[in-house]
C-alpha cells in the first residue's frame, strides 16, 4: 500500500493521519506496516483527503488521478 508514501509526500506525521481517521497512532502505524487491515471507510476518507482513488492507495493502479465521480 502507498499509505506511507502519500503521508510523507504531504509532510504529515502518523498522528496527523490517525486524527483524520479517528484512530490511535499505533493503529494507523499497523495499517502502514500492513499488520492490520484498514477499514474501507478509512480508505474512502484517505482517498478523498489525498484526492486520489482507493485503487491507487492499494496499488491496483499507478494512476494517481481519481476516477470521475458518478452523478
On the 0-12 / 13-18 / 19+ scale of CB atoms within 10 A, 62 is exposed
Reported as a single tens digit per residue, the pLDDT across 4-61 is: 999 999 999 999 999 999 999 999 999 999 999 999 999 999 999 999 999 999 999 9
Give pTM, 2 decimals: 0.87
The CATH number for 18's domain is: 1.10.260.40
Task: Give 46's contacts (C-beta < 8 A, 6+ positions apart).
Answer: 3, 6, 17, 20, 21, 57
Is residue 26 situated within a structural domain? yes
Kindly tell me if the per-residue pLDDT of 71 is higher than 70: no
The pLDDT, as a whole number, for residue 38 is: 97
Which residue did the predictor score with more confidence, 65 or 24? 24
Residue of 24, 27, 28, 32 lying closest to 1 (CA atoms): 32
Q: Cell 494517481 sits at which residue?
A: 64
Q: Which domain holds residue 29?
A: 3-57
Amino acid at each position: 500500500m502507498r499509505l506511507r508514501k502519500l503521508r510523507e509526500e504531504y509532510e504529515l506525521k502518523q498522528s496527523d493521519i490517525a486524527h483524520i481517521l479517528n484512530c490511535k497512532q499505533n493503529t494507523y502505524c499497523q495499517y502502514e506496516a500492513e499488520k492490520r487491515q484498514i477499514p474501507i471507510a478509512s480508505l474512502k476518507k484517505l482517498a478523498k483527503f489525498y484526492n486520489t482513488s482507493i485503487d491507487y492507495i492499494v496499488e491496483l493502479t499507478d494512476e494517481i488521478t481519481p476516477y470521475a465521480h458518478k452523478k
